[in-house]
Every structure is written in C-alpha cells, then in structure tokens.
Amino acid sequence: MLTCDACGRTAESGQRCDDCGEPLWFDTDPDGVAWPDRDGVWAFGDLLPVEPPPGGLAAAAGATPLVRASGLDAGGARVHVKIEGTNPTGSFKDRGSAVGVAAAVADGEGGATFAGDGAPDAVGTVSHGNMAVSMAAHGASTDLECVVLVPADISAARLRRIAAYDPRIVRVDGDYGRLYYDALDLGPESGIEFVNSDSPLRVAGQKTTVLEVLRAFATGEAGGGVGGGERGTTEAAPDVPDAVVMPISSGGHASAAWKAVREATAAGLVDDPPRLYFVQAAACAPVAAAFERGDDAVTRLEGEEVGETVAYSIANPDPPSGTRALAAARATDGAALAVDDDAIHAARRDLVAAGIRVEPASATPLAGLRRLRERGAVDAGEHVVLVATGVGYGGTDGGDGRSGSLDVETVPRSGLAAALGLGDAGE
Amino acid sequence: MLTCDACGRTAESGQRCDDCGEPLWFDTDPDGVAWPDRDGVWAFGDLLPVEPPPGGLAAAAGATPLVRASGLDAGGARVHVKIEGTNPTGSFKDRGSAVGVAAAVADGEGGATFAGDGAPDAVGTVSHGNMAVSMAAHGASTDLECVVLVPADISAARLRRIAAYDPRIVRVDGDYGRLYYDALDLGPESGIEFVNSDSPLRVAGQKTTVLEVLRAFATGEAGGGVGGGERGTTEAAPDVPDAVVMPISSGGHASAAWKAVREATAAGLVDDPPRLYFVQAAACAPVAAAFERGDDAVTRLEGEEVGETVAYSIANPDPPSGTRALAAARATDGAALAVDDDAIHAARRDLVAAGIRVEPASATPLAGLRRLRERGAVDAGEHVVLVATGVGYGGTDGGDGRSGSLDVETVPRSGLAAALGLGDAGE
C-alpha cells in the first residue's frame, strides 16, 4: 500500500497524492526487521515492495563501499565516504532502477505503482543523465522496453551514452521540467511504468543507500573495522553516524534517506538517528533558499533565478520532492544549504587527491560539510558520512563502440501523447 | 615467504625467481581457512600477505557483483558475469593495487616484496591504462608518493586520466615492453615498490576475483540465489562453476585465478575445480599461439607479428606471466584461445544489450565462450563465469576538472635511473 506522508491519504497505485499532490511512499512493516548480514539493495528485502527479479543487472545494485577517509577530515570532524559510483552504471540511480524494473517485471503484482490496466509493457524515465543511463541498462537486462524522454537539445555525448543500451529515446521540445508531470499523466494509459526521480519504487530502492550506511555503523564495519579507524589508533566509530550529508536535486534521494532513518528507528535498529544535510549548488538552490527562509514548501525558481553551475546534474529549479526533503532536514535537526562552484571545485580536487573520483555534484557534500563545520553545525570528533552519488561518466563519450549520427525522434511536448500511442494521432 | 612455482626456489623478497626468471608467489597456509561470510579483498585476509591499511581506498576494492545473465547464454551454457568494473577505479586492478599499497604502507613488514634497504618511500607501476589509474588513486589515498612510468607517446586523454590523482608521471622514450624489467631492477635502489601486472603483491590481491566467484557458488549465492536461476524456474547453480573465462594480457590475473583455485582446493573448500580459459585478441595472441603449438613457454611476438586490435588493453606481445598462465590452462583442463575483433565487437554489443557495459578487452570472454561452445569444449547446461575485467573509462577524458596542457617529464629509457634519483646524474 502507498501512503502520503504529508496528509496521510492512502492509495493502491499511483505516484503522487490525489489530495495534496505530494509524493506517495510505500508502507512498510518494520516489525521484526533486523540488520541483514550483508549489503545490497535486495538484502533489505523485508523493507522493499517487490521481490528481486531472477537474474540480471538488478542483483548488482548497491553494496557500495563505505570508506573512512581521514585525509578529508574537516576541522576534526571524521569523514566517511559512501562511494555510489561503484554501482553498475556508476551512480546511486541503479538502486531505484533495480526496484522499479523488478516491479514492472513482476507484472504489477506485489506493490507496483502502475495505475494502468493490467501490467506495464515498458518502463520509462524522464532524464538525460545518470538516471536515463541507469534505467536504459536495467531495462536492457530484462525483456521490457525502456522509454527515455530527453530534452530536444541534449548533447550528442549524453545521447550516445544512453543510446548504447538501445532504449526507445524520445526527444521532447518544450518545458522539460513539466515532462515529469506529463509522464505521470500519460504513463498508465500508454502502458509505461515511469520510474522517475522520486517515484515510490525509486525511493524504495534509494533508501538502501542510507540503510547500508546505518548497517555498517551498527555492525561495527564502519570506522573501526576494516578500512576504519585512524592510522595508528584504534578509534572505533560510533554505533550511528552523527550526520549524513548528500547532494539534493529532485529530493528523491533525500526523502529516501529520511525514510531509511525512520524505518530503522521504528524497527529499533537505531536509537539516535543521524542529522540529514542536503547540499545544493548556489546557482540553483530552491530547497536551501526555502530552508533559510523558514518556508514550509519549496518554491519553483523561474528564469533568471537559475544560474549555471558545474554541478549541473543537481541543478533542478523545481524539485518534485523538495518540500518532503525540507521536512526531512527539519525533522532530523539537519539543514539544506548551498555551496558555490569554487567550493565544489576545491572539494572535488580534494576527493580525487584522496583517491575518490566523483562528478562535480558528488563533491557538494564535502563542500557542504566544510561550511557546516565553519558554522559550528557539525562538531570536531563527529562522524560524518558524505554520499558520493556518482562517478560522472554519464555525460561523457565513454567509447561505447558506436559512431556516426543517431537517428532519434523529436516531438513537441504537445505531441508526446501521440508519440506514446495515445489520442487521435496514434503512433 | 615467496616461492617460485616453476622451480621451487624460495625467497624473502623480490618479484621474480633468481634462478629460472619466472614470477614469485606468496606462500599461503590453507589449513583451517573457511569461506568468509562476505566478499571483498580483505575478507580473504587469511590468504593475503599483509593486513589491510586502516582506512582509505583499499577497503573499497573487490566485492563486485556476480550476476546470472541468461540473455547471454551460449548454446545452452549458463552464463554468469563477474562485473569488475564496479571496483572504485573501474577495473579489477584495484584488487592488486589495494594489496600492493597496503604492503608499502606497512613499511615492509608482513610480507612485502620490497628488496631495497628499509621501507619503500613510494609505490610505482609501469602502465598507461587501468593499472596506472588504479595505482595513482590508491597511492593518493595514502601518504605515499606514486610513480607511474608511461610510454612517451601516451595519448593526452589517458595522461589526463592518470594525472587527475596527481602521481609523479615519467614518460619514457624507448622499448616500453622492457620497462617492466627496468622497474624491477631500479625499484629497490630508488626506494620504489613497483607493483606491476604480475608482481607477487598484485597477484595476491587479484586472486580474490576468483575466490569471490568460488565463494558465491559454494555458499549458494550464485545462480540459484538472489539474481540467480532462470526466469520462472528454480534451477540452482552447482557448488562450483564448470569454467571461468577471462581475458589475458600479462598473465598476472590468469595466474592469480589459478592460485585462487589451488588454494581453495588445498583448503578443502572446492572439490572439482573449474576449468580456466584465457582469451586474447587474435591480433596479439602469444599465449594462445603457444597453447595451440603445445609449447611449454610463451615466445615474445616481434614487430610485424603484432597487429592492431580494439582490445588494446590486453595486447601484450611479451606477457611476463604468460608461461605461468599456459601451465594454468593445461593444469585445469582449460585452454588459451584467440578471438578476432569482429567477435569482440559482437560480444560487446550483446553485453551492453544485457545492461553490462564493458571495455572491448572485457568482451573477449563472451566471444571466447562462443568459440568454446562451438568446439564442444563447453557443454550445454554447464555454468560458466565470464570475468568482465573493466568498464573502460580509463582511456577516455572523463571530465576530471582539469584543462590545459600537462607538464610531464620525458626521459629516454637510458635516462630512467637518473630520473629516479640513481647514478651520477641524480635527480
């Protein structure tokens, strides 16, 4: 069953609340849930809405390393890095794609969100970055078609990277931000299970990032165990990290982190949950701005309010789970904050110098931690987990063996329904 | 202690046998060794010559997914893929780098191979591909300098990819193939622990690829478990895979696979060990040629015997562990074989279409399996593990945030000693 955390409404299918418009979540029963003896998305099956598919890429999602990186300690705060770039397509997106595709494969049984008649014929997503690559790969490992809606002006390198897995790509000319909502409207009727940035299935998969972090601290694997502690000391990590710092774009990963913390707490696995901090690039920081203003909801940034940033993959002016993330930051005594591109560049250089290569967006947590330490929001001696969300080859031409131009259809936004086989025009 | 598997000589330090010239291996004591309850390089600590370092990237090596990929089944042979591209720098090389750097950090205690006076001041490697990137990253996560010897004509993209981690890079003008041996000669005196493609430390780390594979089958995690079996069936995988197919270049990974199989067998963990198959690109296949001729040793290919191949990262005309790999193929009832570029391209396309993106060299095992199946060397119903060694962004410009030209020293091969601070010229 699905519930709206904002207003309490329940639903059998769908992705957002019919009453208040906020994203739906899958209900879970934390009763009797214990830490699994290993990591990986499916290790947390007791808290997932669907069984794993019997093979394929879904099995490879998650189980990413958590490393103690003392060279990155910030004013005495102890830094651990969760390296999500080691997922099969190089980002945390594989966690949600694995669950989303598994649900679609399961033919609508067992908690899928699909609101159409019968089972979905395809999976889909609205993305031109890591999520598009991830969904295309996970779709490819099953018999389901994958539909990827990209903006008309997508770069050739990005297009090629997605096209390597041979999904159906539709370039849509028009307001790309609204496509998220178009997909929710059109998906059920066109037989496509859209697994977007904060869909309930994706959030269910993405919560395993922080479940793995909490498990590592609870079981003593973090900090004091292999790869932990400080050189020459036997310092042990605490049972729970003091804080988790992660980038925020749509808010889907941020709200998943909150869900993870709440479920672990409800199961009695965590006593004193970590503070959650969400970091944006200053050029496009609607969640941080709302947090600083003390607002209850995030307001969409318009036109000239949005600047350019090196952390382009998290530059979302209208985050569909922004308001949920705002609630998460407040409820956990954390914050949303913004860092400028100079700070992001410096943090990225330092991560690479510590052996950890990340895309610019994934350097924002270290930049954010440094600001938080300066402000006194994080203390010396605290153990802080930075979520390095991706390695960032999604936007490059990684040599996929293809060459020449790609023949990809382009439709106006008003023609999307017809392109998906709906309405008079058909396909 | 180190031993030569070819002639039985033992040594306290060094990398190759003083008597017969073959590579040395670390002795292990399989007595009482059991399967660990998880994967990862350090999970197999009972069989490693050094303790893990207390933090840093070394902790993140290994623990890669093994996925059942029924879409790649070849004439009824069941295909499992070990996805090494999910290592922190994108290839299996991180396993050996982790152990090599850990040994250097441990100041020569506990089984390092360093033959110089005292502890090494630096780690080093001879590589312009995945191994260079891996060593630079693992070096960066410690306090040790890392020296990377590259050919003078290295591409700008590759150079940039290595330089991102800020190692000392030396471009050497001359016979690049001989640099492997130059490094062994110069390393001890110049204070550099060279961890090359088949150094004993690297082999110790790299054997964990196949140890993880064997563990997964033995514990029931492969095939029949999560991500295993065939859609709609409950087929279980056997306790041991029937065969492991992997690319071969220097022979360091191949001989490590053999070491893994032998240690697991000696420990009583495996009854009927898998056949080991090693695949080369036809354009540069000295090991396959020697296998087919029935030779006991691999002969270096010269000049026009070496062609171009898309699988450039395994095109090694003079593999320093080629003879060892030949022995491994024969002893396990496997083979060394070659596949042409068309077959590699086709295999790579099919892997990507199954959601698994690999570099061309990592597609050779699938191409090889297809040949083996045609020949009848692999039967329908057998379970075969393909080792997908890397994701292949090592040679691309992955957007590391740097720009402009790189100022890298170039020395003639005859000037390498001086560049490393030895001889009259000093540094």
- Return the DSSP state at B391: -
Compute the count of residue pairs across chains A and B with CB atoms less than 8 Å apart.
207
Separation between Cα atoms, residue B78 and residue B85, nearest integer Å: 21
- φ, ψ of residue B400 in degrees (nearest 5): -90, 10
Q: What is the CA radius of gyration of chain B?
A: 20
Q: Is B96 on the interface with A (CB under 8 A)?
A: no
Determine the angle formed by the axes of helices A200-218 and A252-266, rounding to 10 degrees. 50
The domain limits of chain B are 59-92+200-388, 95-198+399-419
Q: Which of B234, B349, B356 to mutate to test the interface with A (most CBs of A within 10 A)?
A: B356
Separation between Cα atoms, residue B85 and residue A120, nearest integer Å: 31
Closest-CA distance of chain A to residue B15, Å: 26
> Taking the mean position of all CA atoms in its chain, how far away is CA B207?
9
Q: Is B114 on the interface with A (CB under 8 A)?
A: no
Amino acid occupying residue B235: E
Separation between Cα atoms, residue A169 and residue A179, nearest integer Å: 14
Cβ(A282)–Cβ(A338) under 8 Å?
Answer: yes
Of the candidates B189, B196, B151, B143, the one whose C-alpha atom is nearest the C-alpha of residue B170 is B151
> B229 to chain A: which residues are within 8 Å by CB?
54-55
Q: Is A72 on the interface with B (CB under 8 A)?
A: no
* Residues 6 or more apart whose Cβ sits within 8 Å of residue B117: B188
Contact map slice: A 292-331 vs B, CB within 8 A: none
Q: What is the ipTM of this complex?
A: 0.89
Q: Is B141 on the interface with A (CB under 8 A)?
A: yes
Lookup: tokens for A286: 């609607």
Handedness of CA A157, A160, A162, A165 (dihedral sign): negative
Separation between Cα atoms, residue B64 and residue B84, nearest integer Å: 6
Cβ-based neighbour number of residue B375 at 10 Å: 10
Name which of A37, A345, A398 is nearest B401 (Cβ-Cβ): A345
Site of tokens 């269910």: A204
Cβ(B318)–Cβ(B271) under 8 Å?
Answer: no
Separation between Cα atoms, residue A360 and residue A378, nearest integer Å: 23
Rounded (5°) CA angle B390-A395-A322: 115
Q: Is B54 on the interface with A (CB under 8 A)?
A: yes
Q: Which fold has domain A58-92+200-388?
A: Rossmann fold (3.40.50)
CATH 3.40.50.1100 fits A95-199+398-419, yes or no: yes
Separation between Cα atoms, residue B152 and residue B172, nearest integer Å: 5
Cβ-based neighbour number of residue B58 at 10 Å: 31
Separation between Cα atoms, residue A103 and residue A130, nearest integer Å: 20
Amino acid occupying residue B12: E
Of the candidates B113, B121, B148, the one whose C-alpha atom is nearest the C-alpha of residue B11 is B113
Separation between Cα atoms, residue B358 and residue B392, nearest integer Å: 6
> B398 to chain A: which residues are within 8 Å by CB?
357, 391-393, 396, 398
Closest-CA distance of chain B to residue A232, Å: 8
Q: How far is CA B317 from CA A120, B92, B177, B342, in A?
A: 52, 21, 8, 20
Name which of A354, A395, A397 is nearest B141 (Cβ-Cβ): A354
Lookup: tokens for A408: 């990809």
Handedness of CA B209, B212, B214, B217 (dihedral sign): negative
- Return the DSSP state at B77: B
Q: Is B236 on the interface with A (CB under 8 A)?
A: no
Separation between Cα atoms, residue B83 and residue A77, nearest integer Å: 34
> B88 to chain A: which residues are within 8 Å by CB?
65, 83, 85-86, 355-356
- Return the DSSP state at B228: -
Q: DSSP letters along B1-55, please?
A: -EEETTT--EESS-SB-TTT-PBEEE----TT----SS-SGGGGGGGSSSPPPSS
Lookup: tokens for B86: 């999910």
Question: A140 and B38 in contact by Cβ < 8 A?
Answer: no
Burial of B96 (C-beta count, 10 Å sphere; 0-12/13-18/19+): buried
Query: Tell me, what's the pLDDT at B393?
Result: 62
Separation between Cα atoms, residue B120 and residue B190, nearest integer Å: 8
Of the candidates B352, B363, B245, the one whose C-alpha atom is nearest the C-alpha of residue A89 is B352
Name which of B345, B396, B401 is nearest A398 (Cβ-Cβ): B396
What is the full per-residue pLDDT of chain A (427 aa) written as tens digits?
999 999 999 999 999 999 999 999 999 999 999 999 999 999 999 999 998 877 789 999 999 999 999 999 999 999 999 999 999 999 999 999 999 999 998 865 555 788 888 889 999 999 999 999 999 999 999 888 999 999 998 988 889 889 989 999 999 998 888 899 999 999 989 999 999 999 999 999 999 999 999 999 999 888 643 333 444 444 688 999 999 999 999 999 999 999 999 999 999 999 999 999 999 999 999 999 999 999 999 999 998 999 999 999 999 999 999 999 999 999 999 999 999 999 999 999 999 999 999 999 999 999 999 999 999 999 999 999 999 999 876 434 334 444 456 778 888 888 888 888 887 543 3
Question: A55 and B65 in contact by Cβ < 8 A?
Answer: no
Site of tokens 């502890």: B119
Residue of chain B whose Cα is closest to the Cα of A40:
B65
Q: Is B80 on the interface with A (CB under 8 A)?
A: no
Site of tokens 């770069």: A155
Helix spans in A17-75 (H):
none
Lookup: tokens for A86: 């080691």
Question: B397 and A396 in contact by Cβ < 8 A?
Answer: yes
Question: B399 and A359 in contact by Cβ < 8 A?
Answer: yes
Q: Which of A86, A135, A141, A234 to mutate to test the interface with B (most CBs of B within 10 A)?
A: A86
Cβ-based neighbour number of residue A8 at 10 Å: 10
Amino acid occupying residue A145: E
Q: Which architecture, in CATH terms, is B95-198+399-419?
A: 3-Layer(aba) Sandwich (3.40)
Question: B226 and A393 in contact by Cβ < 8 A?
Answer: no
Q: How far is CA A49 from CA A36, A199, A211, B28, B232, in A?
A: 17, 13, 15, 45, 20
Amino acid occupying residue A136: A
Lookup: tokens for A187: 């998906």
> B138 to chain A: which residues are within 8 Å by CB?
355
Question: A88 and B355 in contact by Cβ < 8 A?
Answer: yes
Separation between Cα atoms, residue A114 and residue A98, nearest integer Å: 16
Separation between Cα atoms, residue A398 and residue A286, nearest integer Å: 32
Question: A226 and B52 in contact by Cβ < 8 A?
Answer: yes
Separation between Cα atoms, residue B148 and residue B132, nearest integer Å: 6
Separation between Cα atoms, residue A255 and residue A205, nearest integer Å: 12
Question: A141 and B401 in contact by Cβ < 8 A?
Answer: no
Cβ(A203)–Cβ(A23) under 8 Å?
Answer: yes
Q: How far is CA A255 from CA A106, A206, A270, A369, B317, in A?
A: 25, 9, 18, 19, 53
* Residues 6 or more apart whose Cβ sits within 8 Å of residue A74: A366, A369, A370, A373, A378, A384
Give residue A108's region: left, alpha or beta (phi > 0; psi -120 to 50). Answer: left
Name which of B141, B357, B359 is nearest A164 (Cβ-Cβ): B357
> B391 to chain A: which residues are within 8 Å by CB?
90, 398
* Residues 6 or more apart whose Cβ sits within 8 Å of residue A169: A148, A150, A159, A162, A163, A408, A409
Q: Which CATH number fits domain B59-92+200-388: 3.40.50.300, 3.40.1500.10, 3.90.180.10, 3.40.50.1100?
A: 3.40.50.1100
Range list of β-strands (E), A316-368: 335-339
Edge-to-edge strands, sheet with A145-151: A192-194, A122-126, A145-151, A168-173, A409-412
Same fold, A58-92+200-388 and A95-199+398-419: yes
Q: How far is CA B236 from CA A60, A84, A126, A388, B72, in A?
A: 19, 30, 37, 36, 18
DSSP three-state, residue B203: helix
Give percent of chain A above pLDDT 70. 92
What is the full per-residue pLDDT of chain B (427 aa) written as tens digits?
999 999 999 999 999 999 999 999 999 999 999 999 999 999 999 999 998 877 789 999 999 999 999 999 999 999 999 999 999 999 999 999 999 999 998 865 545 788 888 889 999 999 999 999 999 999 999 888 999 999 998 988 889 889 989 999 999 998 888 899 999 999 989 999 999 999 999 999 999 999 999 999 999 888 643 333 444 445 688 999 999 999 999 999 999 999 999 999 999 999 999 999 999 999 999 999 999 999 999 999 998 999 999 999 999 999 999 999 999 999 999 999 999 999 999 999 999 999 999 999 999 999 999 999 999 999 999 999 999 999 876 434 334 444 456 778 888 888 888 888 887 543 3
